[in-house]
Amino acid sequence: DKVYLNGSIVNSGDAKISVFDRGFIFGDGLYEVMVQINGRFFYEKEHLARLQSGLQKINIEFCVSSLKNEIIGLLKAAALSDKDCLLYIQITRGVAPRQHSFPAHIKPTVMMYAVPKVLPEINTINAHVITRNDFRWSRCDIKMTSLLGNVMLNEEAMQYECFETILHRNGVFTEASHSNLFFVKNGVVYTHPADEYILNGITRIVVIELCHSLGIEIKEIPLATEEINTIDEAFLTGTSTQIAAIQKIDNHLLFKGNEKGPVTQRLQEAFLKLK
Ligand code: PDD
């Protein structure tokens, strides 16, 4: 398995990063995940633009457009050029003596790898989820590698044999540990606005656009936790999750067996046509 590291493509076992890399010491870095489907990256431009904007937010000087050719080279070396696969990109601030503040003009560490990944046409998961207090920090718009909060919250879902943990903060639902969260109530789709409490998922943006083009009313207004028993449907979105229907929230069963809501189903079918 091949890894791209700072301009070279090497075997993963030969990819070496300093223990003083601020990504290792502080989690001082960003990542991005995108999938290649039918020979092209799904919304590549938007993923790379989010990465660039994140780098600007945390003052890492790096131009992601230089990665386009490197990605092509990596896929070639990994024999994945025309295969369905998942690409992981990580850019950390770089290597420096351990000190919270960072030196000017430090050279970022850039790492990428690709693995084969075939996504289902339509996600058939009918997800069971648990609800938890969103105890992460208040800059969830930054797709940083420091994912301990997300890891701890997701791990709890695994303990309950659930697919995801959906999160609430200040009395409203925000997102999930590794996906965005949508509700449907009286035919209207609701999702938390793209502020500093959620990651503005690319799939989230695509689903909002789909609602507009299908004439489904969409409101970027968060759902209050006490409204949870009044919803008709709920679903999750994310790069590998695509659109996943939620079947059960804690002990509240929304759908039985293979049933799912009509709005979720309509969006899943429309999403499929974009690939
Ligand atoms: N997860 N919210 C969080 C906290 C996420 O980690 C992700 C993505 C999303 C959905 O974003 P997008 O639609 O752009 O994938 C929302 C990635 C894939 C991960 O950590 O593996």
ipTM of this predicted complex? 0.98
- Locate the ligand 1 atom nearest the alpha carbon of residue 31 and give its number: 20
Average of per-residue pLDDT values in the chain:
98
Percent of all residues in the chain with a pLDDT value above 90, rounded to a whole number: 100
Helix (H, G, I), strand (E, B) or coil at 165: strand
Tell me, in angstroms, the distance from the centre of ligand 1 to residue 176's CA: 9
Give the model's pLDDT for residue 214: 98
Position in ligand 1 atom list of the atom nearest CA 47: 14
Q: Examine domains 2-116 and 126-272 and report if their fold is the same.
A: no
Q: How confident is the model at residue 217 (pLDDT cuts 50, 70, 90)?
A: very high
pLDDT, tens only, 96-130? 999 999 999 999 999 999 999 999 999 999 999 99
**How confident is residue 242, by pLDDT bands cut at 50, 70 and 90?**
very high
Q: Is 175 in the pocket of ligand 1 (CB under 6 A)?
A: yes
CA of 69 from ligand 1 middle (Å) equals 24
Residue matched to tokens 């929230």: 249
Q: Give the domain ranges of the chain.
A: 2-116, 126-272
CA 97 to ligand 1 center in whole angstroms? 31
pLDDT at 245: 98
Interval between CA 238 and ligand 1 midpoint (Å): 5
SS3 124: coil
- Please tell me if the CB atom of residue 201 comes closer than 6 angstroms to any atom of ligand 1: yes
The CATH number of 126-272 is 3.20.10.10
Give the other-Cβ count within 10 Å of 161's Cβ: 8
Give catalytic status of residue 185 as yes or no. no
Q: Name the residue of 50, 51, 134, 179 to mutate for ligand 1: max ligand atoms within 8 A of Cβ.
A: 179
Whole-angstrom distance, CA of residue 247 vs CA of residue 181: 13
Atom of ligand 1 nearest to the CA of 206: 13
SS3 of residue 25 by DSSP: helix
Inter-residue contact 219 to 187 (CB < 8 Å): no
Question: With a 6 A CB cut-off, is 136 part of the ligand 1 pocket?
Answer: no
Question: Residues 6-39: pLDDT tens digits?
Answer: 999 999 999 999 999 999 999 999 999 999 999 9
Atom of ligand 1 nearest to the CA of 140: 4
What are the CA-CA distances from residue 145 to residues 27, 91, 121, 239 (Å)?
6, 9, 29, 17
Q: What is the per-residue pLDDT for 22?
A: 98
Please give the single-letter amino acid code of residue 78: A
Report the top-level CATH class of 2-116.
alpha beta
Whether pTM > 0.95 for this model: the answer is: yes
Mean pLDDT of all residues in 253-269: 97
Q: Ligand 1 center to residue 178 CA distance, Å?
A: 5
pLDDT score, position 226: 97
- Sign, CA dihedral 71-77-82-83, equals negative
Residue 123: predicted pLDDT:
96
Question: Annotated catalytic residue: which of 2, 143, 248, 260?
Answer: 143
What are the tens digits of pLDDT across the range 132-164?
A: 999 999 999 999 999 999 999 999 999 999 999
Encode pLDDT of 61-80 as tens digits: 999 999 999 999 999 999 99
